[in-house]
Amino acid sequence: MDETTLTPVTEPIAPGAPGIPPTWSSSSKDMVGCALGSSRLWYTVGYGIVNEVYYPRIDIPQIRDLGFIVADDKGFWVEVKRLRGRSLRTAAPGVPGVEVVHHHPRFDLTLRIAPDQQRDVLLIDVTLEGDESLRPYALLAPHLGGTGHDNRAVIDEYHGRRVLWAEQGPFGLALAAVDAAQRDAWGRASAGYVGMSDGWQDFKRNGAMHWQYREAGPGNVALMGELPRRSTLALGFGSSRESAATLAVGALMQPFANHWQAHIDSWQAWHAGCGQSCKSAPDLPMALREQFTTSAMVLRTHLDVTYPGAMVASLSIPWGNTRNERGGYHLVWPRDLVECAGALLALGAEDKAREVLRYLISTQHADGHWNQNQWLGGKPFWQAIQLDEAAFPVLLAARLHERDALAGTEVTDMVRRALGFIARTGPASDQDRWEEDAGVNAFTLAACIAALVAGAEFLESPARDMARALADDWNSQIEEWTVARGTTLARRIGVAGYYVRIAPSRTLMDEEALKETLPIKNRVQDPGLPASEQIGTDFLQLVRFGLRRADDPLIIDTLKVVDELLKVDTPSGPAWHRYNGDGYGEHPDGTSFDGTGQGRAWPLLTGERGHYELCAGRDPLPMLTAMVSMCGQSGMMPEQVWDSEPIPARWLYPGRPTGSAMPLAWAHAEYIKLAASRTLGAPIDRPEAVWKRYQGKRPPATWRHWCEQAPIGHVTTGQRLRICLHAPSTVQWSLDGWHTVHELRTDDSGLGLHMAAPDIRMMAVGTQIDFSFRNDDVGVVNDQRYRIEVTG
């Protein structure tokens, strides 16, 4: 196609520019995510090579990398991914067809990359210009079955065409090549063992291609083949090497230009179908509008086809060049999925957001919760409980309902079960959103309270009344549970108090529990900080969801502490760490995170701060600008950016991407939502029912709830009390030290809690309410006695 139709991503990178790694495998630097229209293949492209091929039907990556060598057969050879000179362009704005040109004084190697719209095939058009003595060579490292182990590589013929094949168990791949006349294009070819007899080792030892081994394996294998100066490659995947070859060769039986144009047409039709909202605010600077389109592309790229509505957290593996793992971020987190669905709604893609909701309904457990994360087909991976992940699907249902966009999707049962799980489990969570510690967390509380209020709209009484009353109760207690006051840190910064990162679960009964040490597990040595000295950014969700106002004095005080401890001013703009003491990031010397390290700044948190700025009446444009500046060369937004002194030897520069996940789908979703919120004038994902109920103000709680999983120690005079149990029970209670005993049978709340409400409305300050209970279903008596005190 004509050169003018290609859209530049950046200027060519000059030697010494940041963000260019010396090696590449399945790590995450500067990827371009590419989706495939109707195809089921997912892949990402970095520096003109295919780094990860992702096959949603089996939920695992299928290759480690696909790269190129240029050589003259006389001792000169260059692996092009190590070249600093390179330019990268997309086929059109928001279209993940990629052209990469690798520049060298002796040659230019141009790679154009696009999928087949009908087959599980990735196509690469190869053009070498310059010194006529040079030839390109393709290197492919299979990771079939998501691992380098037990792969077999073979050079063979398939119906008269030479094919580079690999197999492992039920998985097969085939790399075929044709010239301009669609004739078999492979020259010499070889299969070898990685690090011993692979093609790269051949060039390293001999300066040219000398080896032509027919097969290798089982083991960690690699393939290499010689190409003419102009050719097209097809990398096909199937349930056998033959089926993969059938797909690959079939894709090559038409000009690459046909695939290229079909890919552009498909993507442009999708963008057009999103409507005016895809264009974002017309007053955004051009670079920010372009990033909006790129981020929309990234989100659609992450949508699965085999399992509609599913999205992995990232097509990359954080620090993937240092490990061999199937999981990485190639998993579905319900929280990340709903965050991305919110961005799809902002784009006008209501049909895609609906599919997300339907996928979530199909993978909800009977008790109401979701897996911590899972493979695309729903099989669990990690299995801890994160309470906010039970809340977010309810919030998505509410958002769709607000837009009259449920389109017949019945959500009442899902909502009831999810709210029941929250009521029976909260307000403490086994893990926070960063998957590290148990306790009471402001972000998790905000999500759960918002879900109780928004979800109540779908329910009938008594479940509706219970959900709202519990939400009011928890909302009224946020400060009692999660705020530290009068600490050494507060005095040093000059504030009265601040929201902590996580309060230990025991804080529900005893505020002194904030003095307990909260472990930080991703450091070489735990710094041993008490919960009262650990600060995070999670409290901002209280403002975003409408539970607190932006000018609340405690919110403002916590911002001062956060900016003192967590803010980093990078050359790209401001960014924040997750919490003080965080160890999730490269080590100080720049070596990769290996279970421990040092936390870095997150562009995602810059977006969350932008939503706060909007709520405070300020323009979040500086935060949008910073997020764009932190992107990789191709507009991919990283999980983290480097925030220390530059380490050129490791390609780490302040404000630029680290080896963490990139692209991070959640970060791109946050950018889209912040741009859309700026146009709207309020957070686009703030539930209407929550704002209507609270208007950012802490409510008075008519009811306090003592629950088996969350006992409380006191109620305020004038408040009412519900004793909430997990089974039908009889409650015995006394106001005079068990001299006079009353009995109450529990009532079903409609949310899986069974409630008894002793009448304490006229009780004076200092009154002590003693109670015990027995399970009526099995006749088991709980011998333990409990006490609640009436306070002023």
Mean pLDDT (the chain, rounded): 90
Q: Residue 667 above 90 pLDDT?
A: yes
At 30 the pLDDT is: 33
Nearest to 321 by CA among 23, 622, 662: 23
pLDDT for the residue 278: 54
DSSP secondary structure of 617-680: T---HHHHHHHHHTS-TTSPPPS-B--SS-BGGGTB-TTSB-SS-SS-HHHHHHHHHHHHHHHH
Q: 140, exposed or middle or buried, with CB in 10 Å at 0-12, 13-18, 19+?
A: buried
- Chain segment 464-482, per-residue pLDDT in tens: 999 999 999 999 999 999 9
* Predicted pLDDT of residue 422: 98
pLDDT of 54 strictly over 80: no
- Closest to 259 measured CA to CA, from 119, 116, 124: 116
- Read off the DSSP letter of residue 380: B
E strand or H helix at 420: helix 412-425
Q: Is the pLDDT of residue 147 over 70?
A: yes
What is the pLDDT confidence band of residue 320, given thresholds at 50, 70 and 90? confident
pLDDT at 326: 67
8-state DSSP, 233: E
Residue 26 has pLDDT above 90, yes or no: no
Which are the contacts of 429, defined by CB distance < 8 A and separation ≥ 6?
385, 386, 387, 388, 438, 439, 440, 441, 444
Q: Is the pLDDT of residue 32 over 50?
A: no
Q: b/e per residue, 212-230, with b = 16+ CB within 10 A? A: ebeebbeebbbbbbbbbbe
CB neighbours of residue 156 within 10 Å? 16
For position 597, what pLDDT does the model report?
A: 96
Mean pLDDT of 212-221: 95
Distance between CA atoms of residues 792 and 767, nearest Å: 11
2 pLDDT above the threshold of 70: no
Return the percentage of the chain with pLDDT > 90, whole number: 82
- pTM for this entry: 0.89
Average pLDDT (311-319) is 92
Question: 11 pLDDT exceeds 70?
Answer: no
**Rounded distance, CA 142 to CA 166, Å?**
7
Which residues does 433 contact at the CB level (< 8 Å), separation at least 6?
Answer: 335, 386, 388, 441, 443, 444, 538
Mean pLDDT along residues 641-657: 95
Q: Which two tokens stand for residue 728?
A: 């039908």
Three-state DSSP at 30 gives coil
Beta strand residue intervals within 179-229, DSSP E: 189-193, 215-219, 221-226
**pLDDT at res. 280:** 55
What is the spatial distance between Cα 29 and Cα 327, in angstroms, rounded to a whole number? 18
Give exposure, 688-712, as e/b (b: 16+ Cβ within 10 Å).
ebbbebbebebeebebbbbbbebeb
pLDDT band at residue 276 using 50, 70 and 90 as cut-offs? low
What's the pLDDT at 695?
Answer: 97
Angstrom distance (rounded) from CA 141 to CA 124: 16
Cα 467 → chain centroid? 29
Position 489 scores a pLDDT of 96
Q: Which helix (H) or strand (E) holds 724?
A: strand 720-725
Tokens representing 466? 């219970």
